Structure 1
């Protein structure tokens, strides 16, 4: 691609639309400093996608829009357009087919930036994609601006590597890799989310699987439990009925036995009563004898007890007499010891009383002296406190006075500073100019007019948009109607084709056709075209022969005859048919048929021979005129011969076959027409939508313009309000400052007077404090002496108190001990007295002895008891005889009653059992009814059912198994099925995403491999070119590129250059010109590897001397064979190199203009003039 033209409008200093033609390979841009030459370079960089304002020498992107000058107003937008010649088709992508490519960028003042390629609105990325890998772009090496040479040489290895990548053309690889990485990150994110969902769903499935297993087991156990429970109830109801009948029979038998035993029992009860009366009389006699014996025994026992008591009493008295004598002797000895101790403590008490009296006398003397010392101490203390209080009060007054002085001084200083500030503010207050207010009012009126004009334009655009929307809606409705009509026709066509295909589908016949290789042959009906309305007539005559197949030779016909088809089928071969013979007044049915293939004519002639068409049912006369064997067929397919009528009823398989075929062909033609209609409607609707979109965009621009003007109007109104407020603030503030200054003068005067008075008061208080301090020192000395005397007096007093207290304690101890001994003596005297009395009493009791009298009475009582024993023995024998007779009768009665009681108990038990059986029967019957049990099934199961105990054991086992299951989720089975379906879907998605991740990772590895190979080849080639170009520019020397890293994808590039005769170790040691030549050699090395369509050089020859400039120009001329150069220069040698010169001037301040000069044409004219 070649750059042929640059168009600028409103870009920086190019205010007016300007076209810069670039016809040759070497074009120079010249002009004085500041005329806007470099703005051409900025324009090219900007339109190629530069988005950094600093790279365009501005603070914001709006700085590229012309901002006004002395005679020019600011513009609202800037645009730059580059026109390329693409005759060789070197542009990438869809633009390679265009011979000329226009790349344009427009920036509005509101910040909206738009890109266009050949007039089509595109993205910024679409613009950069065209130049990927060509060396062109906003930051590529093909645009060498001012200072870039220095940046290239002093760039970091990582920054220099960017130029190498652009030369290698791997920008597209990096873009592809970024896109792939983005897609890979999105895919991995989706995979991670699906993995999380699958993990969560897996855990949920495990729980649901366990719950479903439990639910299935629960249902199984519950069903089995219900069956076993119903069977148990049925068996127990049956057993209860049998038990109830058995108990009824037993009750009847036991009742008879019980009545017989009752009769025997009544006879025995009469005999027992007679024997019991005799036994009672004998018992009374026995009781009387026994009572006499008991009385005699009681008397003997009483006397024996009394004898033992008397003997024990004497022994006890003798023991007590001995103990009392011993105690008496002990107490008399203790009394003698206590009397001796009493005399000792009485002597000690006398000594203690004497010491206590002496201590009390001394304590009284000291107590009289202590109050005098305390009085003296208190007087000194009061004098000292009074003096200190006066001193503190004086010091407080002094501090207060000093604080007041400090406050007055700070106040005076603050008043002075405030006066200075107010005077300074009064001098600096500036009144707004009235002219500015009037200018602002005029601007507001102007903006209001502009807003009204913009609003009128907006209303016009809104009307146009509404009309277009109505037309677009109408076109959309027409398009929808056409699409619906087309869709209905297509649906009807698809339905007819489906019915037609179903009519041909005969599985047994299809197998037979396949066996003979005939399934691909067309049917007869597919080769026929029937006049409208005669399809039923043709179907009525041909019937199954509509599906006839054409056989190419007789041999195949023979094979078909050998293997008969399983259903009706017809075949035909090519031949000549005779057709239907002519009959006057009758039209052959064959005339209603047109054969697509002439080969079917012979078969039609045979099958339709003698068949004629009739518009309606013929009358009898017309039928009688028919030739023999002929048949008339009307439109409905009814056939008429001379003597018969056959009514046509379509068969299911072939019904409407030909009519459907005709309808299908008509629908195919209709669908084509409808498709054209839909296309036309789409074109109309699309064009209206595009026009409506353009009007909407214009309307949006108008709204934005109105908003901008309204904002400007609002800002102007705010500025006017600010000016008015500023005037009012100036007036109010100036008056306020003057009033405050007047008040300050009075406050300063009052403050100075108060400060003078305060200083005099402070001096008086200071003199008073000095005198008070002397008084405090004197009072403190007197107070210390009184305090010392009082302390000594108190010490002596305390010692006297301790001595008196010790003496008193000793006296009290002796008195307490004497009282204690006296009390002990009194107690012992009382004990001795009681012991004497007890000993006398015991002596008297031992002297009286009752034992002989008691023994005599005991002997008389023993003889009386022996007589009572004899009487009792005779009475006992009589009782035993009566008791024996009674016992025999009672035993017989008991035996009889013993027989009755079991029978009665047995009868009661049987009644209870019968009632229990009835209750069980009713209970189990009710349970079975409530459970809606299947009685018939239970009756069959009961025949082979185990015993109730076994059934109950099984029920208990099943109930325990159900309880062991715990909480059961009965919906788990359905939830499990739903979750498994969802997991299957997620597993499929996860597998697809994992496959996508592997594919993307493989793509990244492949891109890295290709990039690594291309970058290595590029580095080697650029290094080789750099090594050859450097000596060309310097006339010798050595230069090379060094890769700083092992991995070429991440490694930086470092430049090593040594001009002729130098052995410098760093490129930074070179001079400015040498650095510039080195950078030029490096940039041109990149060009030789991947020549850009054009190169722009902005004063790169500025640091070069004439000799280096000549070598630089020679190199540029050689490279111009492949690359177009547009350079800016002030060097005359470089200017001579140009084929065309473009002069940039600034005749008007801030506005650039272009003047072009063709050097070759100028030289040609000069030569002509010279000739």
Structure 2
């Protein structure tokens, strides 16, 4: 792969999008002044390749890489860098081999959001690192990007850090990452294996307790099945009884319904009579309404006739007024029409006069146009002549100015020559003085050199003593670290066991389903605990003091899952919750109801030896267990305790070490308990013990860490002292080098001063000759100046005369233009007046037409008004004739209404009597209906009872009583059946609490046991596989590292001799049992010096040594590209030449990007980019390709 291009936008000082194109196999040079942003190019490459350390990018936080704004630019919200690689050979990961180009993009927003893309597809940071792993490019181990200070960092690095370059070149970085991942997974596998083993041990204990519960549950289920069969026979018998009662109710309903039918016929007869009478009443009412309606119509006709007469009279009056108004309007319009005709005649005469004047003005304007054109041509000719004269005058002024400048230059040059002669004399005196000073300095530097060499020898001895002391401290530190590692491993095992037990405790698997349901509910709704007053269950606050909990089995088997509430007032809340969530039965203990204090002191209470209760249950538990006495031997409970138990019945109980229990009331218990929930208490006891051990281990770890920290501080102090000595030695070496340079400088200064004296004498001779030449040149310039001054005066007089002639010509043109403008105004004014008169004539004609039209409409309206007035008078006469006839018809209708009203009232009275008789019949029917309804309710009750029993038989026993009734009821005796069912239920209650889920739990437990055993086997195998993988990785890594170390070491020595012109250098592995953990020390011996540590070399020697190592790696395993940021800064000219030659040699296999200030380094470039800041704070680039430039210049 090779870098094809780089695009930067919003990164550091690159505010605007900036692109770079790099040479495929060659050198690209980046130059520019300090502070212009050159190194930001390197930072952008490191950043897009996944650099996560802001310090490596010369920033305080990652947000600093986003352009922060300048005096003229606002801050940006995002930084983006895109790096494009060519991939012609497909030498990359398999999934990218098919691409000819690979584009990597990284974006960062001020919100902190970050994006990585490969070929515009979002990827992870890990994907980018995998792409460049073992290529020398990626991460902090890469050797392809060497920035400012990286050379010094490589020299001063610890031996363990230097090996990173060899690891990357050897291709074992990915192996190291795989080994670290495998070791992490191995540790996790071992932790999981410990937890699985803990769970397996706990499940084995649970399996023993569940066996007894399974046997008890099976007995319970058999007895419950017998009860179910008896209940089936009883329900079937009761179903038959319900069916018979249902049929009796059905026959009674039939008799009552027959009586109802007879009464219904009577009711129908009465209803028919009532409907006939109602029909007659309706007809009579309709007849009465029709008569009243007819009378209403007559009244309405009378009112309408009167209203029409009034309206017509008013209309006739309005028509007369309208006729008079129309006559007046017609006279006014006729007068206005005559006035318009008079105005039209006057306007026509005025327009003819204006048209004659317009023709005269147009002829005069045409003549003035010709005169003005002639004046313009004359003026242009005069102006051209003036421009020629002015051009000649300007040339003369230019010659005068040049002559003046030449004269001033010659005078100034003569003054400079004189000053230079004086300076040369002063320099001669100073040079002699400098020779004397240089000899004195040479003598002083020799004495200073001896003193520094003695101090250097003494510091070497102190450094050796400190290193021995530091090595002893490192051995002690390593021993303490191993102890801490062992303690941490033991602490993790304890913590893993503790977490496993806590997970098992949180599931409460040893308790009843109802308690588990309640606890799961509170885990899902923690806020409900405080509302209800729930504190926990009894087992949460009990702590065993014995390793044999079965002694307490008779006492604790029924109380461990008691629910503890703060107060008795909380019980209704819990009861409501049980109803809402359908919880099973719970047993409750409230802390405000304490057991009574026993006045008879117990000689051996079980709270002293076997069990204790923790707050807030402590007081309640002490009172409760104070009533129970513990007997060491089983026999003593009968020899000593039996009499006391009989005499104190109801106040004291006894328990023996064998588990025999004499309660205060009830039967004596002995043997193994039917229920085992002690695993919870045993685990709780183990948790307490583990917590105690964990605290002890934590204290030991903390003490060891504090001691280790103190030792590390002392070690760091020794390292600082060693570093101080090294720094002092480095300063002494620098002083010695500086003194040597001063001696050489003084010798060169003497030689330089003598050469300066010779040059001063030669300069004096040259200056005298030059002074004579300048005097002659001065005379020639003065003659030329006089000639040009006379010509200038003559041209200025001619220009002034020509300007006067142009002014006269311009005045004549102005007069002609003024007359031309006056005539154009008169023509425009005449044209406007003619246009206005034409408009008035047209408007006058329209007004006359409109008046004529209005007069015609007025005459038509006048005729229409006269016609309407005549029609109204005729209608009034017709209405006066109609009104007497309507009054007579109204009187007849009034008499008829009175007679029809009397007949209607008589029929309504008869209808009321018939309605009362119908109501009496209805009451009888309602009584019958009520009887039928009651009988049907009884029938429904019997039917519902039968259907309910039938549904119960179908749902529970899948039995159809209709088809199998006779066979099923053949041998049923209800009394014996009820008595037998009662006895079976008593036997079921005597069994007590039974874990019905025990068989299923037992099967589930066995299935879980098998699964965990399989998991344990798989985890063991996985751990072995991981250990094998780690061994294989270590073997391959050692082989690759040794091979690469030898190759690089040989090449390093050869390259060192080439760059230094001799000498030798080598790398040495620090002592270590494992080559993968050893560091690398570098020893160098420049020509003429002893073999010594890198810290004793000069700055230039360090730089050349580091460059030798990096380029040695390149020669063994070339990286796709190499970026060098001012690496040549410490080198002198001779070493820069060797450095450049080496780069040219390496370009056959690698691509180089070099940032430099050195001109010699710039010469080897194939392309040159310049970085500048035209705008403060914003970088921009310019580029040159030398091949194209050479081709264009050729």
| Same fold, TM-score > 0.5, yes or no | no
TM-score (structure 2 length as normaliser): 0.34
TM-score (structure 1 length as normaliser): 0.35
